[in-house]
Structure 1
Amino acid sequence: MRFKEKISVVKASRVAKQPPRFFYLLHFMVLSNLTVSVAQAAGLPATDELTLESIVVRPQSQVLIGIADSASEGTVTAQQLKARPLLRPAEVMEAVPGMIVTQHSGGGKANQYFLRGYNLDHGSDFSTYVNGMPVNQVTHAHGQGYMDLNFLIPELIGNLRYRKGVYAAEDGDFAVAGSARIDYVKSLDTPFLDFTLGEYGYKRFLGAGSHKFGDVNVLAALELVGNDGPWDQSENLVKRNGVFRVSSGNAYEGYSLTAMAYENNWTATEQVPVRAIENGEISKYGTFAPTDGGKTHRYSLNGEVAKSDEKGRWKANAYLIDYQLNLFSTPSGLLDGQHEQADKRLTWGGQVAREQDINLVGKNSTLDVGVQLRHDRMSELGLYQTTNRVRDTTTRKDEVDQTGIGIFSNLNTQWNDWLRTNVGLRWDGIKSEIKNKGGEFNINNGGTGRDHQVSPKLGVVFGPFDKTEFYANWGHGFHSNDGRGSTATTNAVDGSSLERIPLIAKAVGSELGVRTQLLPNWHSSLTFWQIALDSELVYIGDEGVTEPKGGSKRRGIEWSNYYSHDGLILDADVAISHARFNVPSNGGDKIPNAIPVTASLAVTHDTGGQWFGGVRTRYIGAYPLEETGALKSKAFWATNLKLGYRYDKHIQLSLDVLNIFNSTANDIEYFGASCTNAEGAGCGGGEGIEGRLIHPLEPRSVRLGLRLSL
């Protein structure tokens, strides 16, 4: 959620430079080499016969030494997530070192994400894929990159692979702070039924199982969730979620076809002014808007296939997603009243890639080349003023067709026992066609926006030296801006003039890092990173306009640790970041809601015996609420606990205690203008009264679970 701020529009400096010529020359040589290999495979004449040895230089294992392309990437296993206590499905993302997940509204809305000094809002600078399908939504009614992960079923996650920074050629739009790829399992050891009951009306049912028919695995799962929450007005959340998957083979030779269906309805308690709580107008868990909330659905079908040969493998996927959101919010109390953001779209696309073993100047190498395509057909993209969820007037309504194409290549070369390199090159093109369908001041905001970018990448790895490797990475990346901003010349709210905004905001990043195995079973990584972003342009869904925020620079340090032995898994990390605007505004250069310090410690233990469990605590440091940094949030710790007992092989009991020490901190804090019931809708001369707005942590709650294995 974004709030109205009195800011000066600053022109961002162009930090992205043209890539060096050697990137183009090198990739031309490599692609030519690949063409020779393909010609030989087809029986066509070639001047030289290639004799290759297979080499793996990519992160396809849990071992940290010898397979990663950067110090800040990794894989989270199902075993790590199995005994981790979760308040919300999207909290699986907190397994990414340094990632923080919060919420400022109801349980059906996308979470807030924070990483590397970025307030990612609902996902604007971190890209996520589930079973090969993109989750981030382009040109979204509420916010660019909207990443709703409420459809995740944590028990089905097989692994979560993450990368930070802009260094992977496979990653395109939104992969500025990083990216994650979540894959579901293809089969389960045994079918099960889960029943969970908790305080505040929480109830959950999950039934899942799989069966093998010859070489074909069939998996099915059904999840039903209800929750009222601790709020004064019941959340009335009702979630329905299903998965059906057919698969065979493995990641190198096989296929999968997955159908998913997710629906959610809820009533939201938004952030509220602190002064209304302090003067007793409402309680800490109160609200001024009894009809905020919404409904959403996500129906999808995707297929993945992999085929290997003597030189490498092909992999391809295709997806179709039917998505809709109707979100009702009163973000500033009575200041602007309630509005509805409506998003109805059909998204389709896919990827075809080839992983090829080649010989480069006598050295064993692996080359990836691929093409990605995504098209979003948005039949309704609207902003409406409403009363109790009934539309009164149309601020803006559009139909949008947006297409993105990405072409990438990535070359990994092992030069000798202690040196390997990773060279990538990516091209992206975006086209957005806007058709105005409603709104008094929206009639001239249609048209076509286009933009493209070339993104070179480079990584160098030295080692291993006594189970230690050193990394250096550099690259270009980007996030797209809302397509409506690329054609709009008029503010849809008041008719004032606007400048058109580029479709792409460029980023340049670099990092130095080290991975080491300090002791048997203990792996540690230390990373120093920095990133510059052309412009933090964002689409303000609450106002129907794109707002220039100016260029920014961030830098930081991350220390991550992983220990595993005899059923014990320990994850510990600390992240420190420094985030600043290039040009000060509103009296300062601090970036609001950029968290400077985070830390977490997760310990799980499961030897397969009767008892198992886990505990996780996280720390969020105080962050600036406005550009001067004079106003800050309050730092806090929060801890969750899970304890389980296997009565026998068919019956398992569990106890989750969330926010075990009953921290009274706030899940999120903002600074902005608002009006309360006592102040009236016209408070502050119609401009509202500025102050802190908060959404509190949910108080301590207990959930009891029963699993019946069939």
Structure 2
Amino acid sequence: MSHAEAVPTIDIRARAEDLAGVAQAASEGVVSAERLSLVPLLRPGEVLEMVPGLLVTQHAGDGKANQYFLRGFNLDHGTDFATWVAGVPVNMPSHAHGQGYTDLNFLIPELVQQVRYRKGPYFAEDGDFASAGSARIELRRSLDAGLAQVTVGPGGYVRTLLADSIPARSDAAGQWLYGVELFHNNGPWTVPEHYRKFNGVLRYSEGTAAQGLTLTAMAYQGRWTSTDQVPQRALDQGLIGRYDSLDPTAGGNTQRYSLSGEWAQMQDGVHRKTEWWALQSALDLWSNFAYCLSDAQAMCPVGDQFQQAERRTAAGGAHSRHWASTWQGVDVRHAWGVQARADDVAPVGLYRTHQRERLGTVREDRVQQQSLGLWAESELRWNDWLRTTAGVRGDAYRFKVQSNLAANSGQAQSALLSSKLSVVLGPWRGSEFYANHGQGYHSNDARGTTLRVDPADPTNAVQSVSPLVRTRGEEIGLRSEWLPGWTSTLALWQLRMASELLFVGDAGTTEPSRPSRRRGVEWHHFVALNAHWAIDGDLAWSQARFTDGDLAGPYIPGAASTTANLGLSWDGQGPWSGALRLRYWGARPLVEDNSWRAPAAAWVNLRVGYRTSKHEQWALDVYNLLDRRVNDIEYAYVSRLAGESAQGLLDRHVHPVEPRTVRLRWTHRF
């Protein structure tokens, strides 16, 4: 067989790119704009649900970053899954709320060109936060036609979008793309969310992604009132209703402004690419997860509300070079790259508050963090059915912390070398086989690397954490076209981690924890029934365990063992189009000894579209079609309500999936 034999990328409407002879692992792929256009999205972050095996939920207000689950991870708000949009990293290190915080509310899904995803630490180009996987969200360079869109729904939901692309000059050498989104939603909550946001994108481009340039400016502002997770006992006792809040002043304000550029050139067989970016962001987040656990007065007049706040300036860039050669008669493809990033977070703080008014400072710091990554890899095509890719990556970090407590100020630095290896056999009869090994890592919060005393109790000495945490993973997989129109991938994988990062409910942040191991199986498939109908499905099973033998138990809280995302889509059959999607989330432990478990949950979303003319289309989206009373998230931790003992109670804390919600969308192309 030749290298050109087709092993197609799985895609609902079209095979946007053939990965035969290109992919290094079974668990990488591309999601096209066509596929995204057919999927009903409740939130922008659900763009990532098209990554096989990944689920997106929310445990607070929609203005906050989503909760992500993949490969036996409760990724919290993005830890261990690296994400880029238009070349700009989204994960925020040393963030006020959680390490690797990934807020995608600035994303306009209609402007997404494609999503390139990878899973596992097998790729030399991927560094921090990429142990479970990564996604590069690429934006469109132009639109075929202008787009005006209005969507309305219950709970004060109104979304308007205006986007178009126009030539920059009369000779059409370059073009501008713009998009403006205005949004408001109260949601189903007893205390209206009153989430309002503004998104703006302005992009200049010339040429193509392989040879051309882009300049992209993005702006996002949002503010909301949050209904956070609530204790199950308050629901069982009838103290509150399913959509009630225990703190009507929780919520947040956030903003993000970025400017980025990309230049690519193909010359004399060498492909060069340079990217740069700069951003400013801010977050004020008021939460109350324990209610009045720290309040010494029985009626809880103050409560446990706290504010996490940060002001961040960051900049970075990357350069890579790809070229081909021969060695001993063997075709070789080489690549190397350099990546740099600097963050200045001033200040990043945690404060005690009541109704958003500050009562005191727990800690306030200025964090300066720099990182430099170098990577290289070589792919050798030994013959028509065997190719190998060997890679190496080096990362160096420097942290500087100036704390309001002198004992917690200081500097730290660390470096790590990671190896990568991929072996690919085939294609044979439309099939390729993969074996992968890779070392990766995640960074810890800079404040933890210089920590000496507990900020809440300076008399209590604490241990600082390692700046960089090693991960190791292996995978074997298959990509195949079993029958005409039926393509699938199968992957068996495992990942070992030297230190887990876990969400701490009563503190509202992530903390380093015990070493762990995960293993699992994933199956992703697509079946084209005919020219108009298709079925796709993602099925994933995983086992996640701590490995240190601690008597607390081996189970990792929040690690779901089974997930599924199944879809039926139709398009092009007269004026009608649509999609029906089932999301399933298996039972999972809430505590280390598995004595508390969250039940399995499943819900269905529907989209039906009707084109009334060449330029006009209507769509009806129904979320949670069967009106299932299931939860978006469950945690187990100690909290205290008014009148309860000072020690509080260990309880489930839940945030419900929104009830059946209908939205009507009108789209006009011009």
Against the structure 1 CA distance between its residues 305 and 511, is the aligned structure 2 distance closer, same or farther, given a 3 Å change threshold?
A: same
Deviation at 1:215, TM superposition (A): 1.7
Deviation at 1:602, TM superposition (A): 1.7
SS at match of 1:583: coil
Counterpart for residue 549 of structure 1: 513
Against the structure 1 CA distance between its residues 103 and 598, is the aligned structure 2 distance closer, same or farther, given a 3 Å change threshold?
A: same
Letter in 2 for 1:101: V
What is the total number of aligned residue pairs between the two structures? Answer: 649
The structure with the largest strand share of the pair is: 2
Matches of 2:565 and 2:7, distance apart in 1 = 30
Q: Is the 8 A contact 1:142 1:540 kept in 2?
A: no
Matches of 2:383 and 2:420, distance apart in 1 = 21
Render the CA deviation track for 1:665-688: whole Å, top value 9, x for unaligned.
1010010111224x3xxx333x31
Render the CA deviation track for 1:522-555: whole Å, top value 9, x for unaligned.
2111110001000114586964997441100000
Q: Is the 8 A contact 2:591 2:636 kept in 1?
A: yes
Deviation at 1:586, TM superposition (A): 5.4
Against the structure 1 CA distance between its residues 175 and 595, is the aligned structure 2 distance closer, same or farther, given a 3 Å change threshold?
A: same
Q: Is the 8 A contact 1:208 1:219 kept in 2?
A: yes
Unaligned runs of 5+ in 2: 10-14, 295-303
Deviation at 1:653, TM superposition (A): 0.8
Unaligned runs of 5+ in 1: 1-52
Against the structure 1 CA distance between its residues 541 and 697, is the aligned structure 2 distance closer, same or farther, given a 3 Å change threshold?
A: closer
Counterpart for residue 301 of structure 2: none
Matches of 1:189 and 1:608, distance apart in 2 = 21
Within-5 A mapping of 1:421-432: 421-432=388-399
Letter in 2 for 1:636: A
Within-5 A mapping of 1:318-357: 318-336=276-294, 337-357=304-324
Render the CA deviation track for 1:111-165: whole Å, top value 9, x for unaligned.
1100000110111110000000000000001000000111111111100000000
SS at match of 2:276: strand
Letter in 2 for 1:89: P
Is 1:418 the counterpart of 2:382 in the alignment?
no
Counterpart for residue 650 of structure 2: 690
Render the CA deviation track for 1:480-522: whole Å, top value 9, x for unaligned.
0001111110010112111111110100000011111011122
Matches of 2:505 and 2:565, distance apart in 1 = 33
SS at match of 1:652: strand
Aligned partner (choices 497, 506, 517) of residue 481 of structure 2: 517
Counterpart for residue 208 of structure 1: 163
Letter in 1 for 2:615: H
Counterpart for residue 373 of structure 2: 406
Counterpart for residue 630 of structure 2: 665
Q: Is the 8 A contact 1:639 1:659 kept in 2?
A: yes
Counterpart for residue 443 of structure 1: 406
Aligned partner (choices 149, 152, 155) of residue 104 of structure 2: 149
Is 1:468 the counterpart of 2:431 in the alignment?
yes
SS at match of 2:651: strand
Q: Is the 8 A contact 1:482 1:539 kept in 2?
A: no
Against the structure 1 CA distance between its residues 550 and 392, is the aligned structure 2 distance closer, same or farther, given a 3 Å change threshold?
A: same
Letter in 2 for 1:555: R
Q: Is the 8 A contact 2:501 2:510 kept in 1?
A: yes
Matches of 1:378 and 1:137, distance apart in 2 = 10
Against the structure 1 CA distance between its residues 499 and 300, is the aligned structure 2 distance closer, same or farther, given a 3 Å change threshold?
A: same
Q: Give percent identity, aligned residues only.
A: 44
Matches of 1:421 and 1:86, distance apart in 2 = 38
Counterpart for residue 58 of structure 2: 103
Letter in 2 for 1:481: N
Deviation at 1:584, TM superposition (A): 3.8
Q: Is the 8 A contact 1:64 1:515 kept in 2?
A: no
Render the CA deviation track for 1:83-136: whole Å, top value 9, x for unaligned.
100111101111011001110000110011000001101111100000000000
Letter in 2 for 1:472: A
Render the CA deviation track for 1:294-323: whole Å, top value 9, x for unaligned.
000010000001011122210010000111
SS at match of 1:613: strand
Aligned partner (choices 624, 628, 644) of residue 609 of structure 2: 644
Is 1:249 the counterpart of 2:207 in the alignment?
yes
Against the structure 1 CA distance between its residues 630 and 620, is the aligned structure 2 distance closer, same or farther, given a 3 Å change threshold?
A: same
Render the CA deviation track for 1:584-627: whole Å, top value 9, x for unaligned.
44531100000000011122222274111111111100000101
Is 1:239 the counterpart of 2:204 in the alignment?
no
Matches of 2:503 and 2:577, distance apart in 1 = 45
Counterpart for residue 373 of structure 1: 340
**Structure 1: which 4+ aligned runs deviate by more than 3 Å?**
53-61, 537-548, 584-587
Letter in 1 for 2:148: L
Counterpart for residue 141 of structure 2: 186
Against the structure 1 CA distance between its residues 285 and 223, is the aligned structure 2 distance closer, same or farther, given a 3 Å change threshold?
A: same
Letter in 2 for 1:247: S
Against the structure 1 CA distance between its residues 81 and 546, is the aligned structure 2 distance closer, same or farther, given a 3 Å change threshold?
A: closer
Against the structure 1 CA distance between its residues 599 and 54, is the aligned structure 2 distance closer, same or farther, given a 3 Å change threshold?
A: closer
Against the structure 1 CA distance between its residues 136 and 545, is the aligned structure 2 distance closer, same or farther, given a 3 Å change threshold?
A: closer
Render the CA deviation track for 1:321-341: whole Å, top value 9, x for unaligned.
111000000011222411100
Letter in 2 for 1:513: G
SS at match of 2:429: coil
Is 1:624 the counterpart of 2:582 in the alignment?
no
Letter in 2 for 1:646: R
Deviation at 1:423, TM superposition (A): 0.8
Q: Is the 8 A contact 1:58 1:67 kept in 2?
A: no
Q: Is the 8 A contact 1:559 1:574 kept in 2?
A: yes
